[in-house]
Amino acid sequence: MTPDEFRAAGHAMVDRIAAYLDSVGEQRIVPDIAPGDVYAALPSTAPATTTDVDTLMADIDRVIIPNLSHWQHPGWFAYFPANTSYASILAELLSAGLGVQGMSWVTSPAATEVETLMCDWMLDLLGLPRSFRSDTATGGGVIQGSASEATLVAILAARWRATQGAVNDTGDTSRLVAYRTAQAHSSIDKGLRIAGIGEQRIRTVAHDADLAMDPADLARQMTADVDAGLQPFFVCSTHGTTSTLAMDPTAAIADAIDTVDGAGTHRVWLHVDAAMAGIAALDPDQRWVNDGVDRADSYCTNPHKWMGVNFDCTLFWTVDRHAMLGALSILPAYLRSTAADSGAIDYRDWQIPLGRRFRALKLLFVLRLDGVEPIIEMLRHHLRLANDLAARVAAHPRLEIAAPPRLGLVCLSHIDGDAATDALIDAVNASGRHLVTRTEVDGRSLLRVSIGARTTAAEHVDALWDDIHAHS
Amino acid sequence: MTPDEFRAAGHAMVDRIAAYLDSVGEQRIVPDIAPGDVYAALPSTAPATTTDVDTLMADIDRVIIPNLSHWQHPGWFAYFPANTSYASILAELLSAGLGVQGMSWVTSPAATEVETLMCDWMLDLLGLPRSFRSDTATGGGVIQGSASEATLVAILAARWRATQGAVNDTGDTSRLVAYRTAQAHSSIDKGLRIAGIGEQRIRTVAHDADLAMDPADLARQMTADVDAGLQPFFVCSTHGTTSTLAMDPTAAIADAIDTVDGAGTHRVWLHVDAAMAGIAALDPDQRWVNDGVDRADSYCTNPHKWMGVNFDCTLFWTVDRHAMLGALSILPAYLRSTAADSGAIDYRDWQIPLGRRFRALKLLFVLRLDGVEPIIEMLRHHLRLANDLAARVAAHPRLEIAAPPRLGLVCLSHIDGDAATDALIDAVNASGRHLVTRTEVDGRSLLRVSIGARTTAAEHVDALWDDIHAHS
């Protein structure tokens, strides 16, 4: 492809994306196909001859677009929001065009420093503790690809600190114990498993009626483990669980840890997973989602969920850069200090992979072109829609609110029980106009309505409610 | 930003990228700045007011672009190639615009199935074993974000198989031992560390004069470990080491493993890391880079290095899907079989993170718009340039070839020793017209010339040679 062909094709692609996002609400939100259908509709080996971009795009319009699940659809009430924005798309385009590698400072200085700056900008905008700032030298922020990776980094830093680095030599994790409730995200357990913490040493802490962690049970279980010769090393507090946006009480959890933990060099790592809800703190009225974060060793939230930054962009901060670098740096210690002395950050030592894209551009573009005010307005709009829906559910004779509505999430169930709730979910999704997902809490079936797509308006929630009402 | 503003800004961004790539050779290849300079040149908090895209781009032209290291520069002889292409940039743009999540089949069926298809297309084009194909049910391919992640997935699958899944319950890795040479990439050790294999249980296998693994030493060390009550579980064979593109002898390594290993259910996992060199197999003349891969349990190579696919895009294949899913699935076993029965692939269980972008579009665009022929031509062009350079080095009275030249890589040293080689590297890089990197092999300093940027022509290698010659 020549530069001129790229210009023409690029302009057409930009127009096409604008048209897609403008009309995505007219698509069937998820395709009605069976596994293998798309694969079978395409040539099984690479074609021997090339084609032009118009032909390729026609194929994509025919085979690929109709067979996506449309996360940008205004009727997207499933899973979690993953809203994008024009500013973010421009930034991803620029990042691809520049084609630089930000694995260390020297491999592209501006890529590293803009990322550090964006972490600091976001820290201020979210009202997070200054102890997370990169210029503290002990703390710092980084963009990870996903909350799963952020969690794994936190676990590895915790593992290093708990063993005072010995794990790097011995691999011995046999005494380490981790704690979370049954409501924690599956990536916590996956990260622990990867790090060599088996299920036998993952404790399920009790939760209260609102699905928040019970700090007293945490203290009891930690004490029992210490008495048994084991070593508590990691606690995950979730600010906004996936199923219901339940909030674990981080300050009380930190108090519980302090009663058991000597707070010495081996101290238990407290990670706050605010992947879904944390961005709500952009709105000063929702700053409660940060409660207790000043007690945490690390924290993550996802601009790629609810801030108009397209995937991938997870913000991760820690107050213990030393432990993180100890866990992830593959250089000897004396080189680490040299790098620290010069003030350069090598983000390869802050993450699992080596290579990294220039993802900070996405935050820069969104914050400078759109600004934070429209995002706050969007959040408030989603909250109003969720409140209205929750009120309708509460007033309905055959439905009930199944968990305290929080932010953009409403969980409901049918009073006739799980079978009725499951049937309702299927019926609501059958139209292809919107999509909700099922979750299960304490063995009970729930219909989740997660409101967070950029273009979701009252009419889309009304249409959903019409379907819910009609099938209840 | 309105759709119309996006269209205008998007067209301008496309033009800007075309202009950047066209003129990147005129930029100083790496900036002459100190850590903190870029950060200090930008506002320390998010501006209260927004700006228009022209103003933002002017800031980017002023502060960011000149302070990047320009990986697309035709004088880029550093690290490894990371060449991009117009087709790939278009695909990344489309992926960002669609904004879908491919974590499981149902969250966007076409994203999953196009990825499966691209893995199969690439398998054929690279001449890799059919046992890696997804339709075998036992094997399969997936796009990872980086070779580091692919390696970690291989290690975790190996750990699961060696313990027959017990590691998920117990976390016990205390008997497991891994093997690689000192030339293996640092991501191998990092992955092992993450997986709970300490340095005490990572063996450095001897290498021969060409820096290839010595299979006899591998067999000896494995036998000694078995005799000591330990369990060999993972061997990394590198096809193209980072420092010198040395080739480990995979078939002989597999033979060595077979002499020690009972080849039962706990059998040792053989991973082939062809991150850098593997793409060369697109050229039928270079198919030797696949030698012995039919004996491997897993294999990875990076289209994002030398195939014009912009980062990130690592291809990973395994012949043991069962072990990989055992290691990475967070669902109970009976759900896994249900999914397998329906034929659906949930790629979240093939990788570390949960979320994933629609990266397969990049391969689809490159293969359908450009085709494989121009890539083969590019590879051959780079090889010719490297051969010419190697001949000049060999004929030079004060330089010597420091490792067998292979593919696009030439490693040289000054006959006066390491200090002279190091001084030469600094002098060559001082011009800002090109960049080489230093490596160290068996304690000796080497100047690496890695030829692989898309627009590198004879004149750029000539300019490099002029500098090398002038300072030797």
- For residue B396, give how far its alpha carbon lies from the nearest alpha carbon of chain A (Å): 31
Domain end residue (candidates: B332, B352, B369): B369
Instruction: Select the residue of A15, A168, A345 nearest B199 (Cβ to Cβ).
Output: A168
Question: CB distance B117–A14 less than 8 Å?
Answer: no
State how far the Cα of B100 lies from the Cα of B88, in Å rounded to an integer: 18
- Please, which pLDDT band fits residue A341 given cuts at 50, 70 and 90? low
Domain end residue (candidates: A339, A354, A369): A369
- Based on the fold, state whether residues B33 and B154 are members of the same structural domain: no
Structural domain includes residue B84: no
Mean pLDDT of the A378-401 span: 98
A206 touches chain B (CB under 8 A): no
- Please, which pLDDT band fits residue A442 given cuts at 50, 70 and 90? confident
- Please, which pLDDT band fits residue A245 given cuts at 50, 70 and 90? very high
Residue in A54, A67, A98 to test binding to B, most B beta-carbons within 10 Å: A98
Does residue A337 or residue A13 have the better pLDDT?
Answer: A13
State how far the Cα of A197 lies from the Cα of A175, in Å rounded to an integer: 9
- Please, which pLDDT band fits residue B335 given cuts at 50, 70 and 90? very low
Find tokens 């992830």 and name the residue.
A328
- Based on the fold, state whether residues B283 and B312 are members of the same structural domain: yes
Mean pLDDT of the A152-166 span: 97
Residue in A20, A59, A89 to test binding to B, most B beta-carbons within 10 Å: A89
State how far the Cα of A299 lies from the Cα of A316, in Å rounded to an integer: 6
Percent of chain A with pLDDT over 90: 93
- Based on the fold, state whether residues B135 and B248 are members of the same structural domain: yes
What is the predicted pLDDT for the residue at B261? 84
Backbone Cα Rg of chain A: 24
Consecutive H or E run containing B445: strand B444-450
- Please, which pLDDT band fits residue A332 given cuts at 50, 70 and 90? very low
Question: What single-letter DSSP state applies at residue B141?
Answer: E
Question: What single-letter DSSP state applies at residue B135?
Answer: G
Mean pLDDT of the A128-155 span: 96
- Based on the fold, state whether residues B356 and B401 are members of the same structural domain: no
Percent of chain B with pLDDT over 70: 97
B13 touches chain A (CB under 8 A): yes
Structural domain includes residue B260: yes
- Based on the fold, state whether residues A335 and A381 are members of the same structural domain: no
B100 CB-side CA count, 13 A? 29
Strand order in the sheet with B399-401: B76-77, B435-441, B444-450, B409-414, B399-401
What is the predicted pLDDT for the residue at A331? 73
Helix, strand or coil, per DSSP, at residue B207? strand
> Which of A364-378, B202-216, B256-270, B424-438 is predicted least confidently?
B256-270
Which chain A residues touch B35 with a CB distance below 8 Å?
A: 105, 109, 113, 342-345
pLDDT of B156 higher than 70: yes
Structural domain includes residue B13: yes
- B397 to B392, B393, B416, B470, B471: CA distances (angstroms): 10, 8, 11, 13, 13
Instruction: Report yes or no: B259 and B147 within 8 Å, Cβ to Cβ.
Output: no
Instruction: Report yes or no: A27 and A71 within 8 Å, Cβ to Cβ.
Output: no
- Please, which pLDDT band fits residue A209 given cuts at 50, 70 and 90? very high
pLDDT tens figures, A87-110: 999 999 999 999 999 999 999 999
CATH number of the domain within which B230 lies? 3.40.640.10
- For residue A182, give how far its alpha carbon lies from the nearest alpha carbon of chain B (Å): 14
A417 touches chain B (CB under 8 A): no
Which chain B residues touch A38 with a CB distance below 8 Å?
A: 109-110, 113-114, 117
Instruction: Report yes or no: A400 and A393 within 8 Å, Cβ to Cβ.
Output: yes
- Based on the fold, state whether residues B256 and B235 are members of the same structural domain: yes
Percent of chain A with pLDDT over 70: 97
- Based on the fold, state whether residues B9 and B26 are members of the same structural domain: yes
- Based on the fold, state whether residues B39 and B149 are members of the same structural domain: no
Question: CB distance A171–B196 less than 8 Å?
Answer: yes
Q: Count interface pairs A-B at CB distance under 8 A.
A: 421
pLDDT of B151 higher than 60: yes
Number of other residues whose CB lies within 10 A of the CB of residue B293 = 26
Structural domain includes residue A243: yes
What is the predicted pLDDT for the residue at B332? 46
- Please, which pLDDT band fits residue B442 given cuts at 50, 70 and 90? confident
Residues 55-94 of B with CB under 8 A from A: 56, 60, 63-65, 67-72, 79, 82-90, 92-94
State how far the Cα of A433 lies from the Cα of A449, in Å rounded to an integer: 14
Residue in A117, A144, A231, A370 to test binding to B, most B beta-carbons within 10 Å: A117
Question: CB distance B100–A68 less than 8 Å?
Answer: yes
pLDDT of A214 higher than 90: yes
Residues 287-326 of B with CB under 8 A from A: 304, 310-312
Domain end residue (candidates: A369, A398, A419): A369
What is the predicted pLDDT for the residue at A334? 41
Question: CB distance A18–B38 less than 8 Å?
Answer: no
User: What are the residues facing B203 on neighbouring strands?
Assistant: B179
- Please, which pLDDT band fits residue B263 given cuts at 50, 70 and 90? low
Rounded to 10 deg, the angle between the A458-470 and A418-430 helix axes is 130
What is the predicted pLDDT for the residue at B341? 54
Burial classification of residue A358, based on how many CB atoms lie within 10 Å of its CB (0-12 exposed, 13-18 middle, 19 or more buried): buried
Q: Average per-residue pLDDT in chain B?
A: 95
- Please, which pLDDT band fits residue B18 given cuts at 50, 70 and 90? very high
What is the predicted pLDDT for the residue at B336? 46
CA torsion, ordered B181, B404, B410, A349, to nearest 10 deg: 0
Structural domain includes residue A394: yes
A23 touches chain B (CB under 8 A): no
Instruction: Name the pTM for this structure.
Output: 0.97
B230 touches chain A (CB under 8 A): no
Going by C-beta distance under 8 Å and a sequence separation of 6 or more, which residues neighbour residue B193?
A167, A168, A171, A330, B199
Structural domain includes residue B88: no
- Based on the fold, state whether residues B379 and B359 are members of the same structural domain: no
Domain boundaries, position A388: 372-470
Mean pLDDT of the B259-268 span: 80
- Please, which pLDDT band fits residue B262 given cuts at 50, 70 and 90? low
Question: CB distance B169–A365 less than 8 Å?
Answer: no
Mean pLDDT of the B384-399 span: 98
- Based on the fold, state whether residues B215 and B190 are members of the same structural domain: yes
pLDDT tens figures, A280-321: 999 999 999 999 999 999 999 999 999 999 999 999 999 999
What is the predicted pLDDT for the residue at A263? 64
pLDDT of B249 higher than 60: yes
- Based on the fold, state whether residues A328 and A382 are members of the same structural domain: no
Structural domain includes residue B288: yes
Number of domains in chain A: 3
- Based on the fold, state whether residues A337 and A423 are members of the same structural domain: no
What is the predicted pLDDT for the residue at A266? 76
Q: Average per-residue pLDDT in chain A?
A: 95
Structural domain includes residue A157: yes
- For residue A335, give how far its alpha carbon lies from the nearest alpha carbon of chain B (Å): 15
CATH number of the domain within which A404 lies? 3.90.1150.10
CATH number of the domain within which B37 lies? 1.20.1340.10
pLDDT tens figures, A38-67: 999 999 999 999 999 999 999 999 999 999
Question: CB distance B70–A1 less than 8 Å?
Answer: no
